[in-house]
Structure 1
Amino acid sequence: MKTLLRTALLSLSWLLAQAAPAAPASEPVDTSRVRQPHRRLVFQFDQRYSLLQREMVGINGLKLGVEWRGRLRTGVGLYFLSSAINTRAVPPSFVPPGSTDKIRFRYGVLYGEYVLVGTPRWELSTPVQAGLGYYYVRYRYPDGTVYHSPRRTIWLIEPTVGGHMRVFRWVGLGAGVGYRQALLTADKLEDDISGVIFYGRVKLFLGDLYKVVRGREPLFSQRGLHRSDYQPRP
């Protein structure tokens, strides 16, 4: 009797399950939206330019960070001067007249970036980064001999305003402007390194790239970037 009752209950449960409507498949989370309930990785190629000593100088950088709810990004970066620049610092007494001098520097940064306004397609933000690195002066004597001054610590702070536009879900192009201020260095070297900066960047949204590849979506997908995707219909 117990076996028969158990069999009947199991059969009834199976029939009810078959009769119940299937639960709708959940839509994949569109991580291209500005406000998100989770974190994601962001990788940037950051090419900065400064007008130093009346020369346009390039500073190459790489940044890796985490985005929090689409509004705040934090992370680390590494920058180095792509070409040496002249310095107005007084050379040591042992450097012979007629020598040329160039300054070089490298530094790592911690950065924070807050998104002021934006849509899944574009945004305007205020990145600020503080850096610590080293610099040295390279002297070339008239006879071709090269002398490097001892490396010295350099501190920097760089407030900027920038923005970007997504070309596809997983990649965007951006630009910005700001100022670099060197701290705790010799007076003349502070003037040599500090100045207005302009930058261009390529941003890779690694989380979105992973989802596109995993979901076998078209690599150049525009899903979630059109105005109709994120603005409610009237």
Structure 2
Amino acid sequence: MSEYQEDSLKTKKWKLHCGFDGRMSWALGQRTSLGGIKFGLIYNKKHKFGIGLYYFKNPIIRSGVELSERDYPDATDTTSYNFGYTSLFYEPIWYITRRLSISAPVHFGTATISASYKVDDTTQTVWTNYLNQNEEIFGISGVANYKVFRWLAIGSGGGYRFLLTKDARVRKALNRPIIIFQVKLMLGVLYKLALKKPIDDGWDKK
């Protein structure tokens, strides 16, 4: 263990954690982007806990989707799919230096899958929702973060998303690898810098 790691373990404190957590993944056979934000607490500079919110930046539009004419008489064959989830996360930090950290986030939560069909015979585009489905979700990944400034870090990594459902169609459509992009603001550091208070983040250790 490095001297920096030993020193960082001596001070046990809870600190605020907040960051943008964008993801690129695949769904319904095509690449898609998810926006995300996570916030919570860091304990002892080695453990992160909190809540993450994730959502499709743009819905997936598919043509050729045949719905029942009896149940949906005004439906065309064009459907819009949306997906998002809220999760609790635990993120152990395996390695940390002055600028670099490597961690392994684990997420568990609830996902919402929705679908809407495009209505036929309208002068403008109208969508009617016909599906809302909630499923449990589990995700695991590895992420590296690099501090550009004392108060700002960028990161990237990869992992896998699992929908915990018996519905084979949902698993096939959404159980996919993820590529992670992160931007993190150290709110506690910004606060202390503004008030010119001491900061025990290890930044001054060369």
Q: Taking structure 1 as the reference length, what is the TM-score of the superposition?
A: 0.73
Alignment of structure 1 residues 121-140 onto 2, 5 Å: 121-140=99-118
How many residues are aligned here?
Answer: 192
1:204 aligns with 2:185: yes
State the match for 2:143 in structure 1.
162
Cα RMSD of the aligned pairs, angstroms, is 2.7
State the match for 1:28 in structure 2.
none
Structure 1 residues 69 and 216: alpha-carbon distance in aligned structure 2, compared to 1, 3 A threshold = closer
State the match for 1:24 in structure 2.
none
Offset at 1:216? Answer: 7.5
State the match for 1:114 in structure 2.
92
Offset at 1:133? Answer: 3.2
Structure holding more strand per residue: 2
Alignment of structure 1 residues 1-234 onto 2, 5 Å: 34-35=8-9, 36-85=11-60, 92-94=67-69, 95=72, 99-144=77-122, 145-184=126-165, 186-215=167-196, 224-225=202-203, 229-230=205-206
Question: What fraction of aligned residue pairs are identical, expressed as a percent?
Answer: 26
Structure 1 residues 87 and 204: alpha-carbon distance in aligned structure 2, compared to 1, 3 A threshold = same
Structure 1 residues 130 and 179: alpha-carbon distance in aligned structure 2, compared to 1, 3 A threshold = same
- Which one-letter code corresponds to 2:16 in the other structure? L
- Which one-letter code corresponds to 1:61 in the other structure? G
Please tell me whether the aligned partners of residues 44 and 201 of structure 1 are also in contact (alpha carbons under 8 angstroms).
Answer: yes
Please tell me whether the aligned partners of residues 34 and 120 of structure 1 are also in contact (alpha carbons under 8 angstroms).
Answer: no
Structure 1 residues 85 and 127: alpha-carbon distance in aligned structure 2, compared to 1, 3 A threshold = same
Partner secondary structure for residue 194 of structure 2: helix
Unaligned 5+ residue runs, structure 2?
Answer: 1-6
Partner secondary structure for residue 189 of structure 1: helix
Between Structure 1 and Structure 2, whose CA radius of gyration is higher?
1
Offset at 1:91? Answer: 5.2
Please tell me whether the aligned partners of residues 47 and 201 of structure 1 are also in contact (alpha carbons under 8 angstroms).
Answer: yes
Partner secondary structure for residue 143 of structure 1: coil
Please tell me whether the aligned partners of residues 87 and 189 of structure 1 are also in contact (alpha carbons under 8 angstroms).
Answer: no
Partner secondary structure for residue 149 of structure 1: strand
Structure holding more helix per residue: 1
**2: CA distance, partners of 1:41 / 1:103:** 35
**2: CA distance, partners of 1:185 / 1:61:** 26
Please tell me whether the aligned partners of residues 62 and 78 of structure 2 are also in contact (alpha carbons under 8 angstroms).
Answer: no
Unaligned 5+ residue runs, structure 1?
Answer: 1-32
Structure 1 residues 75 and 216: alpha-carbon distance in aligned structure 2, compared to 1, 3 A threshold = closer
Partner secondary structure for residue 171 of structure 2: helix
